Homo-oligomer: A and B are copies of this chain.
Amino acid sequence: MTLAAVDLPRAYRLLNHGPVTLVTSAHAGRRNLMAAAWTMPLDFDPPKVALVVDKSTYTRELIEASGSFVLNIPCRAQADAVLAVGACSGRDADCGGDKFARFGLATLPAAQVEAPLLAGCVGWLECRVIPEAHNEQRYDLFVAEVVAAWADPVVFANGRWHFERAPADRRTLHYVAGGAFYATGEGVEAAAPVAVG
């Protein structure tokens, strides 16, 4: 797999179209991943993101301990994995304690944070939490700075997605509910603004 660095001021473009993400986290030899649809860009430069992580999750524990996480952007080929890691907790014995091992998911080391990059994804945002206790407690809302970003250069280059030149299974996913997603679809070019009358 090739992995190209994304210029930080363009990192928001990885998330701008609203794909579902997989959040990886790690601390002191433990690691986890969970699916997260509730995430968005929050600023351009330095890039920031917002992410909702429920208090009950193992991911929350690891993010709070490490102060960092990675937003991995999975593609259609990984839809089953997205559902699988969202269906159980890394804290449960049923999950075998480590979802990566349980579901046969390979990783790569991140450059700036403890959490790993999930192999096979099409984009990755390494994030360091900006502590905001009120938001975290009241809304389960985390604000983080993106400190490194990566993409598969076949589908993301020059600061934008190019799904049209890649196989259909490299398209990103948009989460509906249950096991249902939509793939990112056709490109639409809007016309320049025209006023009426």
Contacts and interface: CB of A to CB of B under 8 A. Distances in A.
Interface in A18-67: 18-20, 37-43, 48, 50, 52
A195 interface: yes
Copies in the complex: 2
A38 B41 contact: yes
B40 A16 contact: no
Main secondary structure of the interface of A (DSSP, over half): mixed
B196 A189 contact: no
B185 A182 contact: yes
A87 to B, nearest CB: 5
11 contacts: A16-B176, A17-B182, A38-B42, A40-B52, A76-B188, A103-B195, A160-B176, A174-B184, A182-B184, A182-B185, A185-B185
